[in-house]
Amino acid sequence: MRHPDPVTLLPIGEFAARGILFDLDGTLVDSAPDLIGACNRMLKALGASSVDPARARGWIGNGARRLVEQVLAGGFSDTDPAELMDQAYPLFEQFYQEDLCRDSVLYPGAQETLARLHQAGKPLACVTNKPAVFARPLLEGLGVTRYFDPIIGGGDLPCKKPDPLPLQHVADQWALAPTDCVLVGDSISDFRAARACGMPVILVNYGYSQGLDLAELGADAVIDSFAQVTEIIQLSEE
């Protein structure tokens, strides 16, 4: 089923969300240039050829370890995959930590939208599968850490998205029901986590969807601009 552009499935102002949770990579931040750059530096250190950036973009969205696994797949047939990962992942971590905010940028409208939501008194959280050792410095480098409390990175809790635990953890911290919150994300993992938690979910269609047609998943809304978040979510009580 196709939807008109912009792909908004709910009327303007439909969500009276009391708290808003955001995914990081592909939702708030286009981090692909630095993630892929670190992968290619890792491959060079291992004596392998670089990966095509356009192809590697499709592998982003399931966490850093899964990205590295996919980058390595098929290029080292004579090496045990577990041993290769033990060698490669520390290199990726080193290179990414050195340049995690070199070319990564907030998506258009993100800074202004976060500021507007914050000014309206909405509690905001960042919930990502990206390891916290990367997520927090990236948010700091982009100047938006102050908007989020809490920031939940991959590994901070026993389970990551698509498990609902991180979303429920944030709702509990805010003393809100999941139905009083909304998750803004870009992937099927975000969708599944929200549905399992009973939380409304808005998906952006410009992120790392890994080729999926997000409009067909059944999200509460699919939007093509971060700024549309404030068109859908009520900023004040009626």
Residue 34 annotated to the active site: no
How far is residue 57's CA from residue 207's CA, in Å, rounded to a whole number?
10
Which of 5, 23, 34, 52 is the catalytic position? 23
Which has the closest alpha carbon to 27: 225, 212, 160?
225
Spatial CA neighbour of 25 closest among 115, 142, 116: 142
- Mapped onto helix, strand or coil, the DSSP state of residue 176 is coil
Contact criterion met (CB below 8 Å) for 199 and 162: no
The single residue listed with the structure tokens 């969708």 is 191
- Angle among Cα 105, 163, 216 to the nearest 5 degrees reads 70
Q: What is the DSSP letter of 178?
A: G
| Stretch (H or E) spanning 22 | strand 19-22
Which of the residues are catalytic?
23
